[in-house]
Amino acid sequence: MVVDDVDDGEARLRAWERRTGGALTVLGVLFLTAYAVPILSPGLPHTWHVAAEAAEIVTWTALGADFAVRFRLAARRRRFLRTHLFDLIVLALPVLRPLRALRLVAIVLVMHRRAVSATRLRLSTYVGGTALLLVFVASLAVLDAERRSPDANIRSYFDAVWWTMTTLSTVGYGDRYPTTAEGRVMAMVLMVCGVGLLGFITGSLASWFIDRFSDLEQKETETRDDVADLLTEVRKLRTELGTVRAELADLRSVAPPG
């Protein structure tokens, strides 16, 4: 009975995740728009800024509600909390303004929570898209944090993108750098994400090459086995042919002269 209850709970949880996938994607686009527009166009009327803040609150409330529903549907709730602890942290931390850009991380996690079990091609596409999204959002976040500082040297979105790319790739030229506490917090988050992304990309490439070489080696082994089997068959045929020739010679030697 307990096993049946667990299976039913997991089935309900998966059904909920399937039903809410499209809505969460829409929420992700809504949040990204509400977050980006006021930063890229700070001169917009106050009404636009209020609408953007409202859209962010709605998005965040929906993400919190989704987590609560998934927690309630989970048959093993302690295990659910242990395996979704990062989701919970990402949901809680962006209450602070410097970390509000992490809300997008929560949206990505919710929309792609089953990406780990996907095929390598889908997973690589997912990580590549996440990397581009990370560059876009991190650039927005650092520009939002730095543009009001008198000591800032990141004053345009292009400067922010340049800084994000050099930080994410661990190149770090040092010509652009954050001077505010918010910008430095964003830099630390970006450094951690950069190490993870580079590690995944490097590992994926290495795994791809290993798989290709393994396939070639397997095909070479199969070809060698086929050639060995063919040589064995040829030797057998030669032996049989020699036996037949010997038998024919014996028959000719014993046959009476015509």
Model confidence over 168-198: pLDDT tens digits?
877 878 888 899 888 888 888 788 877 777 7
pLDDT of residue 121 exceeding 60: no
Of residues 248 and 40, which shows the higher confidence score?
40
- Rounded to 10 deg, the angle between the 2-40 and 120-146 helix axes is 40
* Cα 212 from Cα 26, distance rounded (Å): 38
* Cα 95 from Cα 63, distance rounded (Å): 13
Model confidence over 122-172: pLDDT tens digits?
666 666 777 787 888 888 888 888 888 888 899 889 999 999 888 887 787
* Cα 217 from Cα 200, distance rounded (Å): 25
3-state SS of 67-94 is HHHHHHHCCCHHHHHHHCHHHHHHHHHH
Task: Bin 170: left if φ > 0, else alpha if -120 < ψ < 50, else beta.
Answer: left
Residue 196: alpha-carbon gap to chain centroid: 10
Q: What is the mean pLDDT of residues 108-125?
A: 54
Q: Which of 3-17, 40-54, 58-72, 234-248 has the lowest mean pLDDT?
A: 3-17
